Structure 1
Amino acid sequence: AICFNSETSVIPAKTVRKLVYRFKHIVLLYDTDKTGLECSEKHRAQLAEYGVKRLVLPLPGTKAEKDVTDYFKAGHTREELMGLFLKLLDTLYGDTLAMLKSCEIDYDHPPEQAVAIVTAGDVPLGSEENILCITGGEGTGKSNYTAALVAGAIMERETDADLLGVRVEPNRKGRAVLLYDTEQSEQQLHKNTGRLLRRAGRERMPEYLHVYCLTGMSRSERLTAIVQSMDRYHYLHGGIHLVVIDGVADLIRCANDEAESVALIDEIYRLAGIYRTCIAAVVHFVPNGLKLRGHLGSELQRKSAAILSIEKDENPEVSVVKALKVRDGSPLDIPLMQFRWDKQAGMPVYVGEKPRAEKEKRKE
């Protein structure tokens, strides 16, 4: 405690500046009479730039009951004084604490279990409230692979359809399935939509499937379109089962811009959480490398629940799907899944797992 002799004294700013370096909080604790209340508020305002606070004791302000010694003389304890200080902090931090309250974990009331939307064996790859990252080089089959996920997401019951080695939770409630493509032409995306419908055993698109070619939009407009359409379809269809963003790097100006990249992935992660859905985000490898593209790739790698890499096999007709990261398990528990183009089917088909010897090499 520091005494300045009288509440009407002038508090030197340079003194307060020095105190700021030594103490977390500087609190004015003046008498609670008329003069004390007026002066404490005046000094608080004058020293606001230093974060000086003002605490008013619960005393009537009479000659016998107005200062901190009177407060303790009345039987109050240190803990009660600390309680007053905590109430002061609650007032100052009210908005932040109210927002933080919704984020607090209540161990006695666990959150609703997230449903695994995409799994390989018993290992969840993409679940509600999470991002599934799908990556690979040019021409490895990323768009065909994600189309298979969409095909699985528009099936309303369990089937033996070929989903290129994974299982997709059936869309039993007819919730929205959304595919946003930022790279392919409208004509190519139309062809791919036809293939995924055939894979799902459908002749027409279900009402809850919405496929968008965003190549005609500016980069700044694309994310806004995704955010607003997701909100609408969430309410229109009673929820969102799966979202695919094919070409997530095309939602920002530069994949190497750290601020833009962090903001984008934070927003995608937020959308997955508030709509309780799985968002599959497709991003390229760096050319001639095995690293995800730029700051965007680094941030996506950090936030994704799983990362699947699609690469060409030694036989260039075959694509291999390999898990690079799995949050709820080990990548080594997921087989190396293979698919290739089938002329007769007019689409990629699953051709089984890589031999066990290949899996053993990954452990070395």
Structure 2
Amino acid sequence: MENEIRNDFLPVNETEEMNLSKILDDALIKATDTYKTPPQIIWIDNSTIATLGNFSASTGKAKSKKTFNISAIVAAALANGKVLNYRAQLPEGKRRVLYVDTEQSRFHCHNVLERILKLAGLPTTMDNENLDFIGLREYSPKIRLQVVDYALRKNNGYGLVIIDGIRDMMLDINNASESVCLINTLMKWSSVYDIHIHCVLHLNKGDDNVRGHIGTELNNKAETVLVISKDSKDANISEVRALQIRDKDFPPFAFRIDEDGLPEMIEDYHSEKSVKSVSSLGVEQLSMEQHREALENAFQGKPIKGYENVINALIKGYAGIGYIRKRSAVAKMLTFLLSDVKLIVKRDKVYHYGEDKTDREIFDPDR
């Protein structure tokens, strides 16, 4: 029976055999190979939020000004300069931007297009050769995916692709298989066409979790996830912070909409979200920087022997950053740290974090 199951995965003809052989050859990574560092194209302060060959996301609740924030990112890319707190530099041959909107009418899409050009300091009375803006509101998810794929195949020079409404590229945001397929498509596009894809997805209305299974997949695989939220004291102010970032974290910044309907930076902004507010987040919403700080507190540079010992250390380590959880929640968190983000490695009964892969100086209170 086992052999029958395994044989289902084997090629059934010579063509499939040849295709798999080619994939295997292409996928083989050798010690003698050399690879260039992926070009960085967008920064906030000195933190890299976008590189070619990767994808990222923005999220936020309704009316949080997500599209205004995206407009600033695109404008910075078109200007190859700074807009709001975004600094962009796309390399030669990768200066073009594809903006895909899945939600808005053509009238509102045109408003966004005009806003982008104004922010970039470009004329609004003529088309810009470096920006293609397409509205796919009236089409099915399958057609939307096919159109974007066709655009990427037929047009050279894209460096940045915006998908404003990634939820509309699928039928069911809670379908695990469909979510994985969509994320795999994003990874394929970004890799094959050497582009950066930035997606927009809503937060849940009732909490601060990214919507659906697709949100979980984005959190796990994206290079950066930005959260745009209304300021707690002034609803006219929108704050931008990192929910997830591979590079070092950046201080939150904020913007408001000026009299011309354009986002403008608020100087000397201080976020009201203190360390204490971290405790209201889900474990997947903590940034990598926050996880690392908590784990450094927990491990103190040494591996930890024993399940109960590591649980107790994690409780204390995460409490140090304001993330206070009971034992049952921390037990689930440990699974997340081991399996999902792989920040902790377990060998036998010893838990490791960071660069230390040996069993020297293991923390073991029973010794």
TM-score, structure 2 as length reference: 0.68
Q: For 1:299, which of 187, 193, 217 is the aligned residue?
A: 217
> Using a 3 Å threshold, how does the CA distance of structure 1 residues 346 and 356 change in structure 2: closer, same or farther?
closer
> Using a 3 Å threshold, how does the CA distance of structure 1 residues 95 and 223 change in structure 2: closer, same or farther?
closer
Distance in 1 separating the partners of 2:146 and 2:6: 40
Q: For 1:341, which of 245, 248, 257 is the aligned residue?
A: 257
Cross-structure match for 2:239? 320
Q: Is the 8 A contact 2:230 2:239 kept in 1?
A: yes
> Using a 3 Å threshold, how does the CA distance of structure 1 residues 171 and 113 change in structure 2: closer, same or farther?
closer
Q: Quote the offset at 1:255 in angstroms.
A: 0.6
Q: Quote the offset at 1:142 in angstroms.
A: 0.8
Within a 5 Å distance, the mapping from 1:1-364 to structure 2 comes to: 95-155=19-79, 157-158=80-81, 161=82, 163-170=83-90, 172-173=92-93, 175-203=95-123, 204-234=126-156, 239-314=157-232, 315-329=234-248, 333-343=249-259, 345-352=260-267, 354-355=269-270, 358=273, 363-364=321-322
Distance in 2 separating the partners of 1:276 and 1:190: 28
Specify every segment of 5 or more residues in structure 2 that has no aligned partner in the other structure, as ranges. 8-15, 279-320, 323-367
Helix, strand or coil at the partner of 1:154: helix
What letter is aligned with 2:263? P
Q: Is the 8 A contact 2:227 2:240 kept in 1?
A: yes
Helix, strand or coil at the partner of 1:352: coil
Distance in 1 separating the partners of 2:153 and 2:21: 27
**Greater alpha carbon shift after TM alignment, 170-179 vs 279-288:** 170-179
Distance in 2 separating the partners of 1:171 and 1:146: 20
Distance in 2 separating the partners of 1:50 and 1:201: 59
Q: Quote the offset at 1:110 in angstroms.
A: 2.5
Distance in 2 separating the partners of 1:164 and 1:292: 24
Q: Quote the offset at 1:95 in angstroms.
A: 4.4
Q: Quote the offset at 1:208 in angstroms.
A: 2.6
Q: Pick the structure with greater CA Rg.
A: 1
Q: Quote the offset at 1:270 in angstroms.
A: 0.6
Cross-structure match for 2:292? none
Aligned length: 270
Specify every segment of 5 or more residues in structure 1 that has no aligned partner in the other structure, as ranges. 1-16, 22-47, 52-91
Helix, strand or coil at the partner of 2:265: strand
Q: Is the 8 A contact 1:154 1:206 kept in 2?
A: no
RMSD between aligned residues: 2.6
Q: C-alpha deviations, 1:40-63, integer Å up to 9, x for none?
A: xxxxxxxx9996xxxxxxxxxxxx
> Using a 3 Å threshold, how does the CA distance of structure 1 residues 50 and 298 change in structure 2: closer, same or farther?
closer
> Using a 3 Å threshold, how does the CA distance of structure 1 residues 129 and 353 change in structure 2: closer, same or farther?
farther
